[in-house]
Amino acid sequence: MHKFNLLVIGGGPGGYAAAIRGAQHGMKVGLVEKDRLGGVCLNWGCVPTKSLLRSVEVLEELRQAERYGLACDNPRADLVAIIKRSRDLADEMSKGISYLMRSNKIRVIKGAGRLLDAKSVGVKDKKGNETKLSADSILIATGGRPRPLPGVEFDGVRVLHSTHAMTLDKLPKSLAVIGAGAIGVEFAHFYQSLGCEVSLIEMLPQILPTEDHEIAHALTRSFQKRGMKVLTSAKLEKLSTSSSGVKLEVSAKGKRKKLSAEACLVAAGTQANLEGLGLEQAGVQTEKGHIKVDDRMRTNIPRIRAVGDVTGPPMLAHIAFHEALTAVDHLAGAGRDSMKYDNYPSCIYCQPQVASLGLTENQANEQGLDIKVSRFPLKANGKAKAMGRTEGMVKLITGQKYGKLIGVHILGAHASEMIAEYNIARSLEATHEEIIHCIHAHPTLSEANFEAALEAYSKAIHI
C-alpha cells in the first residue's frame, strides 16, 4: 500500500492547486486523475473556450478593418482551424500541469479513484486493476459535468453539450441554445459571430439571470441588434430530433412558439461528479447533490475535504482554486482565512464582456440597503473610442452614507480585466472616494472606473 500525507482525487484547478500547495508545505502528495490533468477548465472549459472566443473577436476586427484605415477584404472563418488552435492550446496547458506535478514531486496516479473508507482510496486503471492507497488526509476535487434536460439525451449531433460544441467539424446553419447563463451566452456569441443563425432561450426573465438586470438587458439589446433571437421567460415544453435537425416548442409570456434548428446546445447548468466516489461507504455527507463542507472545506469526516464544483455553487474555476488553497493551508496549520464568497468576480467572455462582483441593484434594494447608483458610459471614454469599442458601461452601487462599494457591474470590452481594480478595493474595504483619489493612467479603459466613482457624487468629468 502506498502512503501519502495528502491524496487528491481529481486534477482540475481545485485538485492540482491543492496538490501543489500540499507539496509547498512539505507534504508527500499523490494526485489521482482518470483523464487529463487540468480538468474541464483547462481541457474543455475556461481556457480553450477563450481561444474560440478570441478567434471570433479577431474575425470581427477584420470585418471592421476599414474603420481603422485598413484594407482586409472578405475575411473568412475556418471552423476546423479555429477548433484546432483551441485543442492545441488545451494540450499545451495540460502538459504544463504535468510539468508542475513533476517539479513539485507530486506522484500522479492514473485511474478512477473511490473512497474505501476515511483513510484509504482505491484507484482502478483502464484494465480494471485496482490499487489501494492510504493517506493522512484526502481531498476530493472531481468537478462537474453538463446537466442534461429531463428526458433529453445528448447525442453529440443534434443535441449538444458544451464539449460537443467545442469540437464540431462543420458549422451548423442554425443553433438553438437552451440556457442563457455564462456558457450559453458565450457559445451563442461564438456561433452567431461565425454566421450561424442563433436562438437563445432562457426560462427566467433575463439572460445571465445572476447578473444585474440593467447589464443583462443591455447585452440582450446588443445581441438582438446583431440579429440573434433572444427569448426570455421561455420554458421548453417539447424537443424532438430528426435526421435533419431539432424542433422545439416553448411557452413564452403566455404564448406557445415553435422553433427549429440544425442543432441544439443544452447549457442548463452543471452537476457534481459524485457517482462512484464511495461517499456513502466513507460516511461523507451530501446535500442537494453536492458534498457538504464548512468554510474551511472540511466534510463531516475530519480526514476528508472537498473543493470545487463537487461542493456546489458558485461553480467557477477561480473559486475552486482558492478553496483548494484554503483547505490545504488550514490542513497544514498555516493560519489562512476561511473561505468567504462575498467578493468574487463573475466574468462572461462574449462581446461585449460582462464582469461583476457584489450585489446587483435589485439584491441591494431587496435587502433594504440605502444605496446610490452611478454609471459611466464607455462611449465617453477616450481609449474605448480609439479602440472602436464604445458599447457598455461601468455601473457602481454604493452605500449612501459611507460610500461602501456594494456592487460593481461592467459591460464592455475587457470588462473581465477592469473588474480586478474593484475586487481589490472591496477586499481592502475601500470606498468610492479611494477610487477617486487614485490616479488612473490616461487614456485607459480603467478611467471609466474612476469616472463612475466620480459620478456617485454627480461629478464625472466627461459626461
Do the strands 2-9 and 130-140 form a parallel or antiparallel pair, or are they unpaired?
Answer: parallel
- 25, 217, 330, 442: the catalytic one is 442
SS3 18: helix
Provide φ and ψ at 461, rounded to 5°: -85, -40
Catalytic-residue membership of 213: no
What gap in Å lies between CA 308 and CA 144, rounded to an integer?
9
For the chain, the straight-line distance linking the first and the last C-alpha, in angstroms and rounded, comes to 69
- CB 145 within 8 Å of CB 266: no
For 204-235, give one letter per residue: b (16+ CB within 10 A) or e.
Answer: bebbbeebbebbbbbbbebbeeeebbbbbebe
430: CB partners within 8 A, 6+ apart: 405
Question: How far apart are the C-alpha atoms of 255 and 184, rounded to whole Å?
Answer: 23
Residues 74-79: contacts with CB under 8 Å, at least 24 apart: 77/171, 77/194, 77/195, 79/168, 79/169, 79/170, 79/171, 79/194
Q: Where are the beta strands (DSSP E) in 179-316?
A: 197-201, 229-231, 234-242, 245-252, 255-261, 263-266, 270-272, 286-287, 290-291, 304-306
Can you list the alpha helix ranges (DSSP code H) found in 315-360? 317-331
Q: Which residue has the cell 464568497?
A: 341
Burial label, 450 (beta-carbon count in 10 A; 0-12, 13-18, 19+): buried
Instruction: Return the residue matching grid coordinates 479555429.
Output: 82
What sections of 131-204 are H helices per DSSP? 162-165, 182-193
Q: How far apart are CA 133 and CA 3, in angstroms?
A: 6
Q: What's the rounded Cα separation, in Å, for the pair 180 and 189? A: 11
- Mapping DSSP to helix (H, G, I), strand (E, B) and coil, where does residue 364 land? helix
Which three cell numbers, joined as nine digits, stand for 301? Answer: 469526516
CA distances, 325 to each of 20, 54, 272, 362, 431 (Å): 9, 30, 20, 33, 28
Cell numbers for 174: 442554425
Active-site residues, by number, are 442
